[in-house]
Amino acid sequence: MRPLDKGACPIDPATGRNKVVTDYDQWRADLIKQIGFYCAYCNMPLSHSLQVEHVIAKNPMPGQPHGLRLAWANMLLACGPCNNAKDNKPMLPTTHFLPEDHNTYLYFETFVPHPDPDAAIVRPKTGLVNPELKQAQDTVDRLKLDNIDRRPDVVDIRWMHRFAALQAIAAYRNIFDMAKRSPTYNENIAAESIAKMSTSVGFFSLWYDAFADEPKVMEKLIHPDFVPGTAQHYFIAYLKTRSANRHSFWGYLKQLLRNLILKLRLS
């Protein structure tokens, strides 16, 4: 899950003040501009039916906090399956990991379950312990990020798109590695090309996993010129460390291990 920073409330050019809306759907264009056309929770790219989603439910279950109906601060974009799974159930920063409140990249991972080799689902990241483990699992459960819908009238196809993204990113990584061996290799151009390709695939945490050993690629993947709305501050120290260690022996071994894990996920 990509950590997000959608920024302050947009300014109304007519008044020079914070924009005011009469219907929450009127935030859709601003949200697309600020965080891109992706579901804030599963990071699936959305070609249509981008649902403006209330982070804190506007009509919550009895006894739960009531989210502001029209406030910019309470708005994100969501796909239908994530929004429907979340519904009006409580989902608070104290009980769940939310993309605007946490570095959500740290708490989840994608894997291909053994009985379903053509599906990819989300689970808490290996190595987590309570209370983070419980909070991550509650987030997966609330959004049904581990759902595999094989009904004849299938509606939730996030697992299909996620699996296709895994395959595509593995292929792009292979192409990138071949390009690095070329005498005409240009690091900046290659990194920008990867970032541009990521915009149509989405599922950005998978890109971060695949290119974690390539600081220049990571720099482009989180840059707003390519993918708007990523909370860049979470990655600054990480990029500095990677850049310093990328040519070290241990960095080389870690790269080999990471590539092996990526291949095992697809095997």
Average pLDDT over residues 71-96: 94
Average pLDDT over residues 223-242: 88
Task: Please tell me the predicted confidence (pLDDT) of residue 64.
Answer: 73
pLDDT band at residue 263 using 50, 70 and 90 as cut-offs:
low
Say yes or no to pLDDT of 249 above 50: no
Answering whether pTM is above 0.85, one says yes
Taking the C-alpha atoms of residue 261 and residue 267, their distance in angstroms, rounded to an integer, is: 10
SS3 content of the chain, % helix, strand, coil (to 5): 45, 10, 45
Structure confidence by residue, pLDDT tens digits, 102-131: 999 999 999 999 888 899 999 999 999 999
Q: What is the distance of C-alpha 5 from the center of its chain?
A: 12
Average pLDDT over residues 230-240: 86
Say yes or no to pLDDT of 224 above 70: yes
Cis bond before residue 131 (omega within 30° of 0) = yes
Residue count of the chain: 267
Q: Do 53 and 40 touch, CB atoms closer than 8 A? A: yes
Listed by start position, the domains of the chain span 162-266
As a whole number of angstroms, the longest Cα–Cα distance in the chain is 64
pLDDT band at residue 47 using 50, 70 and 90 as cut-offs:
confident
Structure confidence by residue, pLDDT tens digits, 180-219: 999 999 999 999 999 999 999 999 999 999 999 999 999 9
Which H or E run contains 140? helix 132-143
Q: How many other CB atoms sit within 10 Å of the CB of residue 253?
A: 10
| Burial (CB count within 10 angstroms: exposed 0-12, middle 13-18, buried 19+), residue 29 | exposed
Structure confidence by residue, pLDDT tens digits, 120-160: 999 999 999 999 999 999 999 999 999 999 999 999 999 99
